[in-house]
Amino acid sequence: MIKKAVDVLFLPVISVFAALLVGSILIIAIGENPFAVYWVFFKNSLFSINGIAYTLFYATPLIFTGLAVAVGFQCGLFNIGAEGQLYMATMAVTLTAIYLGNLPGWLIVPICFVTSFLVGGIWGGIPGFLKARFGGHEVINTIMMNMIAYSFVNYLVVGPFHRKGTSILETEFIPEVARIPRMHEILPFFPERIPLNFGFFIALLACVVAYLLLWKTKWGYEIRAVGISDSVSKYAGINVKKNIIMAMFIAGGFAGMVGIHEVMGYRYTYHDSFSQGAGFVGIAVALLGRNHPVGVILAALLFGALNRGSLFLDLQFDSLSKDLVMVLQGTIVLFVATDKFFKGFLNFFKFKSKDGVPSG
* pLDDT tens digits, 302-346: 999 988 988 888 788 878 877 888 888 888 888 877 766 666 655
Percentage with pLDDT > 90 across the chain: 66
When divided into structural domains, the chain yields a total of 1
Reported as a pLDDT band with limits 50, 70 and 90, residue 353 is very low
Mean pLDDT across the chain, nearest whole number?
Answer: 89
Reported as a pLDDT band with limits 50, 70 and 90, residue 190 is confident
Q: Which one-letter DSSP state was computed for residue 124?
A: H
CA 276 to CA 26: how far, in whole Å? 25
Return the closest-CA partner of residue 71 out of 236, 244, 195, 241: 244
Assigned domain for 115 exists: yes
pLDDT score of 12: 79
pLDDT, tens digit, 9 for 90 and up, residues 217-270:
999 999 999 999 999 999 999 999 999 999 999 999 999 999 999 999 999 999
Which of the residue ranges 174-178, 211-215, 223-227, 273-277 would you say has the lowest mean pLDDT?
Answer: 273-277
Assigned domain for 162 exists: yes
> Per-residue pLDDT for 352 more than 50?
no
- Between 351 and 238, the higher pLDDT residue: 238
CA 344 to CA 121: how far, in whole Å? 39
- Mean pLDDT across the stretch 270-275? 92
Cα 176–Cα 180–Cα 182 angle in degrees, nearest 5: 105
Provide Rg for the chain, Cα atoms.
Answer: 22
pLDDT score of 108: 96
pLDDT score of 297: 96
pLDDT score of 186: 86
- Mean pLDDT across the stretch 201-206? 97
The range of the structural domain enclosing residue 120 comes to 54-319
Assigned domain for 37 exists: no
User: Who's near 214: CB < 8 A, 6+ residues apart?
Assistant: 71, 74, 220, 223, 224, 293
Return the closest-CA partner of residue 205 out of 256, 249, 257: 257
pLDDT score of 340: 63
Cβ proximity of 90 and 265 under 8 Å: no
- Mean pLDDT across the stretch 50-65? 95
pLDDT, tens digit, 9 for 90 and up, residues 1-46:
555 555 556 777 888 888 889 889 988 988 888 998 889 888 888 8
pLDDT score of 1: 52
CA 148 to CA 142: how far, in whole Å? 10
Assigned domain for 63 exists: yes
Assigned domain for 187 exists: yes
Give the domain CATH number at 75: 1.10.3470
Assigned domain for 349 exists: no
> Per-residue pLDDT for 148 more than 60?
yes
314-321 — which CB contacts under 8 Å span 24+ positions?
A: 316/40, 317/32, 317/37, 317/40, 319/30, 319/31, 319/32, 320/27, 320/30, 320/32, 320/37
CA 143 to CA 283: how far, in whole Å? 13
Assigned domain for 168 exists: yes
Assigned domain for 101 exists: yes
pLDDT score of 7: 59
pLDDT score of 77: 96
pLDDT score of 336: 78
pLDDT, tens digit, 9 for 90 and up, residues 88-132:
999 999 999 999 999 999 999 999 999 999 999 999 999 999 999
